[in-house]
Every structure is written in C-alpha cells, then in structure tokens.
Structure 1
Amino acid sequence: MAPPKRHVRQDTRTPTPTRRSLLAGVAAFGAVGAAGCSRVATASSAPGGDLLGRLRAQGVVRLGIAGEIPFGYIDRDGRLTGEAPELARVIFKRLGVDEVQPVPTEFGSLIPGLNSQQFDVVAAGMYVNPARCEQVIFADPDYQMLDSFIVRKGNPKNLHHYQDVVKKKARFATGTGYAEIQYAVDAGYDEGDILIVPDQVAGLNAVEAGRVDVFAGTAVTTREVVKKSAKAEATEPFAPLVDGKPHVDGGAFAFRPAETGLRDAFNTELRKLKRSGELLRILKPFGFTEAEMTDLTAKELCGR
C-alpha cells in the first residue's frame, strides 16, 4: 500500500486500543527477546545470493510483519499468524527452513528494514507496485485484491466507488499507508480532507460513530471487520481506477534485490501450492476466497 503524503488529516482522538495495536505491541515485545537469540543472515555478493543456503544452516527465517490482521500479526495467544506467515511456514519448510520468527515494524519501515537486514523477508501481504519494485524484488502474488467500503447499514449515501465519494462529498477515511489514499485522490478527493486512522477497526469505529460516512480498505479486511457490527456493512468489492482503467492489486513476499535465488525457489513452491489448491486452504481461515486467488505475476504489477 502506497504511503500517504504528510498533509493528510490524522485522527487525533485518544483511541481505544484496537486489536491491531494491542497485538502489534505484544509482537514488538516478543521481537526484543528474539533479536538476542538469532542473527539475520548477512548480504551476499554471489550471483543470485546464497541466503537460502544460510537460512537452511540456521534453521530459521525472520519475517518482517506490520501487525495487520489478516496479513501478518501476533494473535491473543502470542502466536505469529496471518495469511503471509502461515504461507511462509509451509513454503520455507519445503525449502528446508523449519522455523519462522516475527520481526514487527511499522508498515512504512518494512522495505527499509528489509534492505538494512533487520529481517530476511517481508511477509506482510505487501502490494506489488512499480515504486516498490525499484527497491526490492517480489515473489509472484499469493493473492489478488479489490477494494470495498465500510458504510452505515443500508448504505444511505449509496457509495460504491471513489467517484461516488467525491460526487456526494462524503466524509472519507482510510488507513495509515493504505493504497486507498491515492485511489481517492485520483478520483478527485481533496487529500487534505481525508481522515487517516490506524486500521480497519478504527475505520469501523469512525463510521459507527458518525465521524465519517465511509472507510475504504481491502475487500477482505472490510468484510471481516463488519461481521459483528450492528451499525455498519461492507459494500460489494470493486476495482479502483488507475489511469482510467480498473486496477486489481496483488500482494506478495518481498526480498532484497540480490536474493534472486531465494525468490525463485520461493516462487517454485508457490506455484505448486497454487496448482494443487493448497494455497486457498492455507489462506481461507483468514477470510480469503476463490475470488482472491490469482495468476498475476510480479513482472506484470511492476510494469515491466
């Protein structure tokens, strides 16, 4: 998800701790202890990199996560989970690396943290886009994603696309670092009027409290978070317009640019999981459906 520009309006209310913020705090505490008992493998100058061999020797791979449900987070029992960590467990085990270890950080720090070797791989459901492809290399996407809105029950303003939000002058919110910021701006929404909240739980709270008319997020996060709400609902998923054309995002694992060997080995196992249908089985508990399975490639989404 592309980072927002700095003049967007932040939610400055003193928040009730959300599930995401609490879990991210637990994860950060756990990572302090983890840092003392294992080291991130250092960079290699070998063609294709030799990180996979070194990870096999260590028996552990460190995953950069952003504490975001359902992509990568620490649950109430202190266990690393989410669609990306669970997929990582399966693929890295097949690659001869038995243990995965979380390194929580802010979403905007994932790529810098990866390239400064704070962890080995980004496992946070990160969208693949051309700007990021200049900094890291991506595996092929393990899911594709449309957008959706959280609105009041009955959708009283009839909001289904970003153009509706602009036309109806609806009060609009989305999450920190979300790609939806740019989609709204591209549709004509004034970036300074966007309310930025920490995550989809805070977005749901803002809609339920009437502070905004709509919160934009991924289809999987919106439909999951409204399940227990008596006041809000999620709209049907839709593709935002990019350069006037419907755009489908794809999320993937990210690797340091020199580590093409690890990326290629990861892709080989990912393709096997896609062909067998096991990928959907792994992701389904986190709200993913057949509609989110994809044959998109990193090359396509990187624009080259």
Structure 2
Amino acid sequence: MAPTRSEESKRRRPVSRRALLAGGAALGAAGALGVAGCSKVPTGDTLARLKSQGIVRMGIAGEAPYGFIDDRGNFTGEAVELAKVIFKRLGIGKVQPVATDFSSLIPGLNSQQFDVVSAGMYINKERCAQVIFADPEYQMLDSFIVPKGNPKKLNSYQDIKKSGAKMATGSGYAEIEYAIAAGIPEKELVILQDPVAGLNAVESGRVDVFAGTALTGREVVRKSRKAEATAPFAPVVDGKKKIDGGGFAFRALDAELRDAFNVEIHKMKKSGELFRIVQPFGFTKAEMTTLTAKELCR
C-alpha cells in the first residue's frame, strides 16, 4: 500500500518490510535503554510520564501508507505524521515508531513494549475487549488484488466462495473474518506477511486473489502490469454491509491519554487539518468519517 503523493515530486517509496522491521528493532532497543524501567511504571499516569520523558513509543506494522520507512530512511505514513502533530500538542515532543508484526501489536501494547498503537488497525468488538481506541481517523471499504482483467470475476467474498478461488490475506486482517462469514473455510485461506507479498502471490499465480482495504488495493497495484484492484465494496457479515474504521489503540487503563488524544483529533477533523495530513498518503474525502469508536466496538 504505497502512499500516493498529491505531487509526483513528493512521492516517497517504502523500503522492504525486512528493512523496516530491522530499523524498528534497533530503535526499539535504543528506546528500551533510554526508558529503562518504564514497564514497571503503573498505567493511569501515562500521559504525565510521557510528557516528562518527552517521547512516546508507537507500535506500527511496517505497512504503507500507515507507517513505514521511506526511501530516505525516515519513518513516515499517515499514522506517524498524525501522531507527530497530536502528541506534540499534548506536550510530547518525539514519536518513536517501533515496528513489529501486525498480530503482535496488541500483545506488545499490553505488555508495555510501546505506549500506543497505530497501524491502520480496524476498531472492532474483539479488539475493543483488549484495548481502548480513539475515535477513527478514517473509514474504509474492501477491495481485491486480482490478475488483470479479473478473469474469475471476483468482486465479493461470496464470489470467492462460489468460484472456489484461492484467497490470500494478511496476518490478523479483518478480511479473515469476512471470508469466514461468506462460508470460506479458514483452513483454506493463505495468510501472507503484507500486501506486497499478496501482490507477488497474485502475479505469480500462487493465489487468485488477495483481500485487503480499498486503499491497499488501489495503491499496491499502481505500477503492476499483471494485477489490478477491484472496485471498493462493503463486506457483508450476518446479512449487513460493514464499513470499517481505523484508529489509535491504547491500554485499557490509559483512558486519560486516549481522551486527550481524542480532543485533538476532533479539533483536526473539524478544521480539515486531519484530511490535509493524510491526503498525501492516498486517502480521499470518501475515507473521512464521523464514526466513533463506541459505534465500531459494538
């Protein structure tokens, strides 16, 4: 999901996930040395502690456009840039991204490997039982990466089920749930590392389709000659169309920090600043939302 810059000259390309994870690990190790003993600090006073330290550790999954390393070796992405602005306004001058696998983000947050998570993470009932979320900064539909011409005519999870197509998606992705809801056995799903791996699998013919967000689809195939993205659609779960929203996650006892974050994100939504920050990473007006975390947690 490489970000689309509004101006070609400003385009930044993400480097490999391996490089990001290595860089994130190095930063994480340095951060751990710099804030030794933080895991013993009780939650509840996290906002005060972070202000005192002047740094917040943010778990990311190394995935464009949410959080990644650009071709200059800098951490960037819609979540990273948004976090820089909001935490600065909360009196915390530095955001230190820590890269890990998507499925390790919530466990890492709750074990205090980092202070907040932002990786394009959808807000849903299952995750809301483990962490608390700020209100979403975006909403999202799904899309498929398929071979050019979409030979199997795959435009919904029901189409995948009917055709018997081989489907892949990412580890921990909500798309796993949507596939199962459509009757696709979980054991038949191919779980890959990230959307780039998904594109490679489709191009090589290892799978027929990779399921992800609409933003993933339109961005990751941008330069592909062998694959394309399907039109965005709302997955159907229990007979109802589902629109997802993604937001920052916090530990359950860090409500004060989450609430302070929410105040700032709502100001930015109202002023239009939020959209101006995320637009260079491929987000459109259609992805802006008034959904709340409370709604999405139900």
1:292 aligns with 2:296: no
8 Å contact 1:89–1:100 — kept in the other structure? yes
Match of 2:20 among 14, 20, 23: 23
8 Å contact 1:152–1:232 — kept in the other structure? yes
What is the 5 A alignment of 1:204-283? 204-283=199-278
Helix, strand or coil at the partner of 1:250: strand
Match of 2:95 in 1: 100
Q: Distance in 2 between matches of 1:161 and 1:24?
A: 32
Cα RMSD (Å): 1.6
Q: Distance in 1 between matches of 2:131 and 2:241?
A: 25
The one-letter amino acid of 2:54's match is G
Helix, strand or coil at the partner of 2:144: strand
- Per-residue CA deviations over 1:218-239 (Å, capped at 9, x if unaligned) read 1111111100001111011111
1:68 aligns with 2:63: yes
What is the 5 A alignment of 1:120-139? 120-139=115-134
Match of 2:185 in 1: 190
- Per-residue CA deviations over 1:117-167 (Å, capped at 9, x if unaligned) read 111111222111111111111100111111100011111111110001111
1:117 aligns with 2:133: no
The one-letter amino acid of 1:137's match is I
8 Å contact 1:41–1:120 — kept in the other structure? no
Helix, strand or coil at the partner of 1:127: coil
CA shift at 1:41, angstroms?
6.9
Match of 1:174 in 2: 169
- Per-residue CA deviations over 1:242-287 (Å, capped at 9, x if unaligned) read 2110001111111111111111110010001101111111111211
Helix, strand or coil at the partner of 1:36: helix
1:32 aligns with 2:18: no
8 Å contact 2:61–2:119 — kept in the other structure? yes
Q: Distance in 1 between matches of 2:76 and 2:35?
A: 20
Q: Tell me how many residue pairs correspond in the alignment.
A: 283
Deviates more, 1:229-238 or 1:24-33: 24-33
Q: Distance in 2 between matches of 1:280 and 1:236?
A: 22
Distance 1:41 1:61, change over 3 A: farther
CA shift at 1:61, angstroms?
0.8
CA shift at 1:23, angstroms?
2.0
Q: Distance in 2 between matches of 1:99 and 1:274?
A: 22
Q: Distance in 1 between matches of 2:104 and 2:147?
A: 33
8 Å contact 1:126–1:253 — kept in the other structure? yes
8 Å contact 2:20–2:99 — kept in the other structure? no
CA shift at 1:21, angstroms?
2.9
Deviates more, 1:18-27 or 1:213-222: 18-27
Q: TM-score, normalised by structure 1?
A: 0.89
1:54 aligns with 2:62: no
The one-letter amino acid of 1:31's match is G
Q: Distance in 2 between matches of 1:143 and 1:123?
A: 12
The one-letter amino acid of 1:26's match is G
Distance 1:44 1:281, change over 3 A: same
The one-letter amino acid of 1:201's match is V
The one-letter amino acid of 2:288's match is M
**Which runs of 5 or more residues in structure 1 are unaligned?**
1-17
8 Å contact 2:221–2:229 — kept in the other structure? yes
Q: Distance in 2 between matches of 1:229 and 1:109?
A: 30
8 Å contact 1:139–1:267 — kept in the other structure? yes
Q: Distance in 1 between matches of 2:114 and 2:27?
A: 14
The one-letter amino acid of 2:112's match is Q
CA shift at 1:105, angstroms?
1.9
Q: TM-score, normalised by structure 2?
A: 0.90
